[in-house]
Amino acid sequence: GHRLLLENARQAVLVSARGERFLAGDAARELAVLQDASLVVGADGFIKAIGSADAIQKQFSGETFEERIDCSGKCILPGLVDAHTHPVWAGERVHEFAMKLAGASYMDIHQAGGGINFTVERTRQASEEELFCSLQQRLQCMLRAGTTLVECKSGYGLSLKEELKMLRVIERARRELPVGISATYCGAHSVPRGKTALEAADDIINNHLPTLEELGRRGEMHIDNIDVFCEEGVFDLDCTRRILQGGKEMGLQINFHGDELHPMKAAELGAELGARAVSHLEEVSDTGITAMAKAGCSAVLLPTTAYMLRLKQPRARKMLEEGVIVALGSDFNPNAHCFAMPMVMHLACVNLRMSMPEALAAATINAAYALGKSHTHGSLEVGKQGDFIIVNASRWEHLIYQFGCHHELIEYVIVKGKVI
Ligand code: NIG
Ligand code: FE
Phi/psi at 147 (5° precision): -80, 120
167-178 residue pLDDT tens = 999 999 999 999
Q: Using the predicted structure, report yes or no on whether residue 359 has a pLDDT greater than 90.
A: yes
Query: Does 86 sit in the ligand 1 pocket, CB within 6 Å?
Result: yes
Ligand 1 pocket check for 229: Cβ under 6 Å = yes
pLDDT bucket at 77, cuts 50 / 70 / 90: very high
pLDDT over 90 (residue 371): yes
Report whether pLDDT(162) > 90.
yes
Which part of the chain is CATH 3.20.20.140?
A: 80-370
- Expressed in angstroms and rounded, the spacing between residue 78 Cα and the centre of ligand 2 is 24
Q: Which CATH class is domain 2-78+379-419?
A: mainly beta
CA of 113 to the centre of ligand 1 (A): 14
pLDDT confidence of residue 354 = 98
Q: CATH 2.30.40.10: which residues of the chain?
A: 2-78+379-419
| pLDDT score for 265 | 98
ipTM of the complex: 0.94
Overall average pLDDT of the 194-203 stretch: 97
Q: Is the CB of 203 under 6 A from ligand 1?
A: no
Q: Which atom of ligand 1 is nearest to the CA of 260?
A: 2
Collapsed DSSP state (helix, strand, coil) of residue 352: coil
**pLDDT score at 112:** 86
**pLDDT higher than 90, residue 113:** no
User: 257 CA to middle of ligand 2, Å?
Assistant: 7
The one-letter code for the residue type at 58 is K
Amino acid at 294: K
Query: For the CA atoms of 344, 315, 327, 15, what is the dihedral angle to 10 degrees?
Result: 90
Query: Ligand 2 center to residue 176 CA distance, Å?
Result: 24
- Residue 32 sits at the vertex; the CA angle it makes with 378 and 85, to the nearest 5 degrees, is 25
Alpha helices, H only, 221-299: 237-249, 266-273, 286-295
Angstrom distances, CA of residue 35 to CA of 12, 254, 281, 396: 6, 38, 37, 11
Neighbours of 351 (CB within 10 A): 15
Q: Whose CA is nearest to atom 11 of ligand 1?
A: 331
Helices (H), 94-127: 94-101, 106-111, 116-125
Expressed in angstroms and rounded, the spacing between residue 220 Cα and the centre of ligand 1 is 28
Q: What is the mean pLDDT of residues 12-26?
A: 95
Q: Is the CB of 335 under 6 A from ligand 1?
A: yes
Contacts of 237 (CB under 8 A, 6+ apart): 230, 264, 265, 266, 269
Distant-in-sequence, close-in-space partners of 286: CB < 8 Å, separation ≥ 6: 318
Q: Hey, whose CA ends up nearest to atom 10 of ligand 1? A: 116
Do β-strands 388-391 and 180-188 pair in parallel, antiparallel, or remain unpaired? unpaired
Assess whether the C-beta atom of 114 lies below 6 angstroms from ligand 1.
Answer: no
- Ligand 1 pocket test: which of 99, 152, 331 has the largest number of ligand atoms within 8 Å of its C-beta? 331
Q: How many Å apart are CA 353 and CA 362, to the nearest integer?
A: 13
Ligand 1 proximity of 153 Cβ (cutoff 6 Å):
no
CATH number of 80-370: 3.20.20.140
- pLDDT at position 111 is 85
Q: How far apart are CA 120 and CA 103, in angstroms?
A: 24
- Angle ∠(150,164,134) on CA atoms, nearest 5: 50
Any atom of ligand 1 within 6 Å of the Cβ of 257: yes
Judge whether 162 and 205 are in contact, CB under 8 Å. no
Over residues 244-249, the mean pLDDT reads 98
Q: Which residues, other chains included, contact 145 with Cβ-Cβ below 8 Å and sequence gap of 6+?
A: 80, 339, 340, 341, 342, 343, 406, 407, 410
Mutate which of 108, 123, 257, 338 for ligand 1? The one with the most ligand atoms within 8 Å of its CB, which is 257
How many C-alpha atoms does 217 have within 13 Å on its Cβ side?
7
With cut-offs at 50, 70 and 90, classify the pLDDT of residue 214: very high
Tell me the pLDDT of the chain averaged across its residues: 97
- Residue 110 pLDDT class (50, 70, 90 cuts): confident
The reported pLDDT for the residue numbered 340 is 98
Q: Which phi and psi angles does 12 have, rounded to 5°? A: -120, 115
- What is the Å distance from ligand 1's center to 108 Cα? 14
Q: Kindly report, residue by residue over 202-211, the tens digit of the pLDDT.
A: 999 999 999 9
Mean pLDDT of all residues in 212-223: 98
Residues 6+ apart with CB under 8 A from 285: 259, 263, 265, 267, 268
Listed range (40-54, 103-117, 180-194) with the worst mean pLDDT:
103-117
Q: What is the rounded average pLDDT of the residues 327-347? A: 97
Query: Mean of the pLDDT values across residues 267-293?
Result: 98
* Beta carbon of 85 within 6 Å of any ligand 1 atom: no
Q: Any idea what the Cα angle at residue 162 is, between residues 157 and 163, rounded to 5°? A: 65
83 touches ligand 1 (CB under 6 Å): no
Spatial separation of the C-alpha atoms in residues 324 and 347, rounded to whole Å: 19
